[in-house]
A and B are shown apart, each in its own frame.
Chain A
Amino acid sequence: MGFRFEDVDGVRRSLADANYLADDGIAGIVYLADRLGKPILVEGPAGTGKTQLAQSVAEITDARLIRLQCYEGLDESKALYEWNYKKQLLRIQASGDDSGWSEIEDDLFSEEFLLTRPLLEAIRAEDRVLLLVDEVDRLEVETEALLLEILSEYQVSIPELGTVAATQVPLVFLTSNATRELSEALKRRCLYLYIDYPDLEREREIVLAKVPGVDANLADQVARIVRSIRQLDLKKSPSVSETLDWARTLVLLGINKVDAQSATDTVNILLKYRTDIDKAVKEFADRPDDLVDDGT
């Protein structure tokens, strides 16, 4: 079987070409997933590029992205497949009395009445696909079990039709915001990737890649300030998407050098909680000597 990537660095470079800035961990694990034919479970704080990673990998591997967005109450009929019972009802009505029941029954549970949902669609695809199961932690534990067969065997059993197996091993990404512990069974089947907030250099690169009109200097300042803010003890640290929003705002306002005033004026884009905003503003406006004092 052909592999999608030559080596780890190749993954990193292709992703960078697609404007996704990966670190060694991210690139290494994507590479490994391809080699081992295993799904990746991606966890990490909100807005650190988990979903984007799957999208970007789809892009660089020329794969069609099939996305299952999870939510509470999502069940088999929305995730896997469903029988189109309205159509089935019509079929029964149309058949009248003359045909035998077993004949109708066979007919009722055939392709024609099958509604394919994302998981089944990914398994049956003839073309290159990438399956993204987004925010899997929102599923109920029982529903999680639906995924297990697919994740380890790349097949789906449909009682009425038999087993549908994938003709190719698609790349599979699952993302989670860790609102709950996922089951051991699920984790065992996956490679685990934790995407944390990026380090200074990577965040600067992300800003440069994603924000039109930003110059290197401003990107650097933005990344530095965000790093400093993340060091504070906050209720919610700024995510990458918030960094990007902030950089865009600064560009729009024509600010090319961030000072305490402009930082204070726009910090509400980075931080959502009042107490966090107050903390940050205080940090940036205070005299440095005060900072040294209470920094201990």
Chain B
Amino acid sequence: MTAPEPTRSQPMTVTEQAETPAGGSHEDTPLLDLLSGFIIELRQAGLPVSLTENLDAMEAVTHIPIEDRDAFKYALGATLVKNHSHWRAFEVVFEVYFSMRGDEYTLDEVVEGEGPEGEPGPPGEGSPQGGGGAMSGLTPEQLAEMLMKALMNGDQAMLRALARQAVMRYAGMEPGRPVGGTYYLYRTLRNLDLDGVLEGLMDAAREEAPEDLTPLEERLERDEFSDRIEQLKQEIEAEIRRRLVADRGVEAMARTLRKPLPEDVDFMHASREEMADLKKAIHPLTRKLAVRLVRKRRHGRKGSLDFRNTIRHSLSYGGVPAEPKFRFPRPAKPEIMVVADISGSVAAFARFTLHLVYAISGQFSKVRSFVFIDGLDEVTRFFEGVEDIGEAVHRVNTEADVVWVDGHSDYGHAFGVFWERFGRDVGPKTTVMILGDARNNYHASQSWLLKEMQHKARKVYWLNPEPRAYWDTGDSIVGEYSTHCEGTFEVRNLRQLEAFVEKLV
């Protein structure tokens, strides 16, 4: 397949020349240059864009005008993003690369006199209510009132204009300042006091209602207003991003905003937002994994020929054994014991691993789980007969009795307790999974306990959420422990966790 040159000449907007790489060939329209930079950035962000997909995207944009920004975005998305969990990352890059495209999206004031790169754009055109200009004369009170009204009526165009105005007034953005978008966002939001606005909207709704709002109605009103406020926030964020792009250029901004994909987020350093994404990702992931494992078990191996069954079926073919039937062997399912450090920095890792293991517990003849910090507690009971694994994991974190002396990890002591109380349950069918960073706070390692364990158990695996480069530095003694394990694995993210669990079955 060849990539046809787009025939349509794309209208240009303000910042175009600034981002066109110097070495771009002459036949290419600037749009194609922008697009190839865009795709390079997607790859940098970890999205697997193949050559075919690259070409498809180039063809797609010849059919959808860039002015229709949403359609344009979906067209690119459809050709370049084939995994929904990558959509967020795609959107961020899209915003950076294409936020300055299309009339509606030109900046009003900021671009003027913005250094050598940008030419001044058409002033204030296309933005509703005159964009920044018309509103700049308002007092803060008048502005707040307009905001309230726009939110009350769900007036999208007005909200967008107000978002711009708010950023211009409150964000305090200055060209060349080395601060991130979150700082500006924070400043803008602080001035708008959106929590107060929400309460104001609720009061207004209560007043307007003919009778008292029922709890249900309250709830619905609140959700509706929160939704509108959320949209406003997004407009504000987008506006800040546009201005940052204008100031710093596309590539620099893309680099600043680059975030790992959910499956690559480090358990130990996830931000709150990333943690929320991880939590969302875990459910579909376990479901996929479960389905895959069940299938593997059923189909992976063909058993011996089932003679009788074959003959029975051959009757319908006049005695010709046309359809050989096989017996499916049932390989013995392993028995799992998870022993997890749940102290501070590794807690998230333990949670996700427990979640995953229990989600596929059908693959094992038995799963028991133990958590520790310096003391150890069996937590199998939290998972018994529950529908909601997430809930059970939450209880483990809040209710398990894991502190012995001071609540700093003591692997040696925890292993001691484990061995003394549960060692007799470890047998030749047991696979033990130990989770933790093996940072032992310079306590005694007691690694002979692991040696004993390895003798009795079928397999002992160690899963460490730290990057391999940090192993055995400082108080980490994973090397010493791993001499008594069948395998020691770096498991820093969902991708690695999934790979390990799949191997385990």
Residues of A within 8 A of B (CB): 8, 24-25, 27-29, 31-32, 35-36, 38, 40-41, 43-44, 72, 85, 89, 140, 178-181, 184, 187-194, 200, 221, 224-225, 227-228, 231, 233, 235, 258-260, 263, 273-275, 283-288, 291
Of B80-88, B247-255, B470-478, the stretch lying at the interface with chain A is B80-88
Is B190 engaged at the interface, CB distance under 8 Å to the other chain?
Answer: no
Is B388 engaged at the interface, CB distance under 8 Å to the other chain?
Answer: yes
B247 to chain A, nearest CB (A): 30
Contact A275 B391 (CB under 8 A): yes
Of B58-66, B107-115, B430-438, B485-493, the stretch lying at the interface with chain A is B58-66
A178 touching B288 in the complex, CB below 8 Å, given contacts A263-B216, A286-B215: yes
Contact A225 B56 (CB under 8 A): no
The 7 lowest CB-CB distance pairs between A and B, nearest first, are A187-B82, A288-B218, A191-B78, A28-B71, A25-B74, A179-B291, A28-B74
Which listed residue, A181, A193, A221, A235, touches B288 by the CB 8 Å rule?
A181
A194 touching B391 in the complex, CB below 8 Å, given contacts A24-B74, A32-B64: no
Nearest A residue to B59 by beta-carbon distance? A36
Which listed residue, A184, A194, A286, touches B84 by the CB 8 Å rule?
A194
Of B13-21, B97-105, B219-227, B305-313, the stretch lying at the interface with chain A is B219-227
A260 touching B215 in the complex, CB below 8 Å, given contacts A181-B288, A228-B223: yes
Residues from chain B with a CB closer than 8 A to the CB of A200 are 227
Residues from chain A with a CB closer than 8 A to the CB of B390 are 233
The interface bits of chain B over 371-387 (1 if a CB of A lies within 8 angstroms of the residue's CB, else 0) are: 00000000000000001
Q: List 26 A-B contacts (CB under 8 A).
A: A8-B64, A8-B68, A8-B71, A24-B74, A28-B78, A29-B75, A31-B63, A31-B71, A32-B60, A32-B63, A32-B64, A43-B84, A179-B291, A187-B82, A188-B52, A192-B77, A192-B81, A225-B216, A228-B223, A231-B223, A260-B216, A263-B216, A274-B387, A275-B387, A288-B218, A291-B215
Contact A224 B78 (CB under 8 A): no
Is B23 engaged at the interface, CB distance under 8 Å to the other chain?
Answer: no
Residues from chain A with a CB closer than 8 A to the CB of B216 are 225, 258-260, 263, 284
> How distant is the Cα of A97 from the Cα of B70 in the complex, in angstroms?
70
> How distant is the Cα of A233 from the Cα of B279 in the complex, in angstroms?
10
Contact B291 A29 (CB under 8 A): no
* Overall SS of chain A's interface: helix
Is B50 engaged at the interface, CB distance under 8 Å to the other chain?
Answer: yes
A22 to chain B, nearest CB (A): 11
Is B43 engaged at the interface, CB distance under 8 Å to the other chain?
Answer: no
Contact B223 A32 (CB under 8 A): no
> How distant is the Cα of A101 from the Cα of B388 in the complex, in angstroms?
65
> How distant is the Cα of A60 from the Cα of B69 in the complex, in angstroms?
26
Residues of B within 8 A of A (CB): 48, 50, 52-53, 56, 59-60, 63-64, 68, 70-71, 74-75, 77-79, 81-84, 87, 214-216, 218-220, 222-224, 227, 284, 287-288, 291-292, 295, 299, 318, 322, 387-388, 390-391
Contact B78 A287 (CB under 8 A): no
Nearest A residue to B390 by beta-carbon distance? A233
Nearest B residue to A193 by beta-carbon distance? B78
> How distant is the Cα of A8 from the Cα of B60 in the complex, in angstroms?
13
Nearest B residue to A258 by beta-carbon distance? B216
> How distant is the Cα of A41 from the Cα of B81 in the complex, in angstroms?
11
Contact A179 B388 (CB under 8 A): no
A78 to chain B, nearest CB (A): 14
Residues from chain B with a CB closer than 8 A to the CB of A187 are 82
Contact A192 B82 (CB under 8 A): yes
A180 touching B218 in the complex, CB below 8 Å, given contacts A32-B63, A191-B79: no
A113 to chain B, nearest CB (A): 16
Contact B223 A224 (CB under 8 A): yes
> How distant is the Cα of A43 from the Cα of B215 in the complex, in angstroms?
36
> How distant is the Cα of A36 from the Cα of B74 in the complex, in angstroms?
14
Nearest B residue to A38 by beta-carbon distance? B56
A14 to chain B, nearest CB (A): 16
A259 touching B214 in the complex, CB below 8 Å, given contacts A28-B71, A29-B75, A224-B224: yes
Residues from chain B with a CB closer than 8 A to the CB of A231 are 223
> How distant is the Cα of A48 from the Cα of B82 in the complex, in angstroms?
18
> How distant is the Cα of A24 from the Cα of B220 in the complex, in angstroms?
26
> How distant is the Cα of A47 from the Cα of B48 in the complex, in angstroms?
28
Residues from chain A with a CB closer than 8 A to the CB of B78 are 28-29, 32, 40, 191-193
> How distant is the Cα of A140 from the Cα of B348 in the complex, in angstroms?
34
A260 touching B214 in the complex, CB below 8 Å, given contacts A28-B75, A180-B288, A191-B78: yes
Contact B291 A180 (CB under 8 A): yes
A274 to chain B, nearest CB (A): 7
> How distant is the Cα of A28 from the Cα of B79 in the complex, in angstroms?
12
A273 touching B50 in the complex, CB below 8 Å, given contacts A32-B78, A179-B287: no
B18 to chain A, nearest CB (A): 29
A265 to chain B, nearest CB (A): 13
> How distant is the Cα of A19 from the Cα of B64 in the complex, in angstroms?
25
A248 to chain B, nearest CB (A): 21
Residues from chain A with a CB closer than 8 A to the CB of B284 are 178
Residues from chain B with a CB closer than 8 A to the CB of A193 are 78
Nearest A residue to B60 by beta-carbon distance? A32
Which among B74, B81, B83, B284 has the highest number of chain A CB atoms within 10 Å?
Answer: B74
> How distant is the Cα of A200 from the Cα of B231 in the complex, in angstroms?
13
Nearest A residue to B316 by beta-carbon distance? A86
